[in-house]
Structure 1
Amino acid sequence: MTLIKKIFDFYLDASIHVALAIFSLVHVTALTLNINVPNALYFFIFFASISCYNFVKFGVEAEKYILVANTYQKNIQFFSLGCLLVAVYQLFFLPANVFLWLFILAVITGLYALPVLPKNKNFRSLSGLKILIVAAVWAGATVILPSVSVLDEISWNVKIETAQRFLFVLILLVPFEIRDLKYDSAALKTLPQRLGVKTTKMIGFVWTILFFLITFLKTDLEVAPIVVKTILFLTLIFVVYKTELEQKKYFSSFWVEAIPLFWWLLFIIWKKCII
Structure 2
Amino acid sequence: MSSIRLGIPFDFAVSGFGFFGTIVGYNFVKYDAIARQGKPVRDVKMNVFIALSVISFIAASGFFLMLEWLTKVISVAVLLVTALYTLPFFPNKKTARDWAGLKIYFVALCWVGVTVVLPVLNKGFPLTIDFYISSLQRFILVIVLLFVFEIIDMQWDDPHLKTVPQEIGVLNTKILGVVLISMNLALELLKTMRKPELIVVNIVFGIFICIFLLQANQKRSRYYTTFWVEGITVVWWFALDWVSKNT
State the TM-score, normalizing by the size of structure 1: 0.85
Q: Deviations over 1:167-193 (max 9, x none)?
A: 110111011101111111111111111
- CA drift at 1:62: 1.4
Q: Which structure 2 residues correspond to residues 145-224 of structure 1 after superposition, within 5 A?
A: 145-224=118-197
Query: Which of 86, 105, 108 is the matching residue for 2:78?
Result: 105
* 8 Å CA contact 1:38, 1:94 repeated in 2: no
Q: Distance in 2 between matches of 1:231 and 1:260?
A: 12
Identity %: 30
The question of 1:119 aligning with 2:67 is answered no
Q: 2:40 aligns with which of 45, 52, 68?
A: 68
The yes-or-no answer on 1:250 pairing with 2:223 is yes
Q: For 1:12-55, what per-residue CA distance to the aligned partner results, in whole angstroms no more than 9, with x for missing partners?
A: xxxxxxxxxxxxxxxx1011111114311111110010110111
Change (3 A) 1:195 1:63: closer
Q: CA deviation at 1:133?
A: 0.8
Shift of 1:63: 6.2
Partner in structure 2 of residue 90 of structure 1: 63
Distance in 1, Cα, partners of 2:112 & 2:104: 12
For the residues of structure 2 that align with 1:199 and 1:269, how far apart are their CA atoms?
Answer: 36
Report the count of equivalent residues.
Answer: 246
CA contact (8 A) 1:178 1:192 kept: yes
Give the distance between the partners of 2:241 and 2:36, measured in 1 at CA. 44
Aligned partner (choices 54, 60, 72) of residue 27 of structure 2: 54
Q: Which of 222, 225, 233 in structure 1 is aligned with 2:198?
A: 225
Q: 2:103 aligns with which of 113, 117, 130?
A: 130
CA distance in 2, matches of 1:153, 1:101: 16
Query: For 1:225 and 1:33, how far apart are their aligned partners in 2?
Result: 11
| Alpha-carbon distance in 2 for matches of 1:180, 1:260 | 21
Provide TM-score, normalisation by structure 2: 0.94
RMSD: 1.8
| SS of equivalent residue, structure 2 residue 66 | coil
Equivalence for 1:29? 2
CA distance in 2, matches of 1:68, 1:49: 22
4+ residue segments displaced more than 3 Å: none
Uncovered stretches (5+) of structure 1, i.e. residues with no partner: 1-27
C-alpha contact (below 8 Å) 1:40/1:94 kept by paired residues = yes
- Residue 152 of structure 1 and its aligned partner are, at CA, apart by 4.1
What is the rounded CA distance, in whole Å, between the counterparts of 1:64 and 1:120 in structure 2?
Answer: 16
Aligned partner letter, 2:242: I
Give the AA of the match of 1:76.
F
1:203-232 residue CA offsets vs partner (Å, 9 max, x unmatched): 111111111111111122122331111111
Kept after mapping to 1: 8 A contact 2:4/2:244: no
| Structure 2 gap segments, 5+ residues each | none
Query: Match of 2:241, as an amino acid?
Result: I
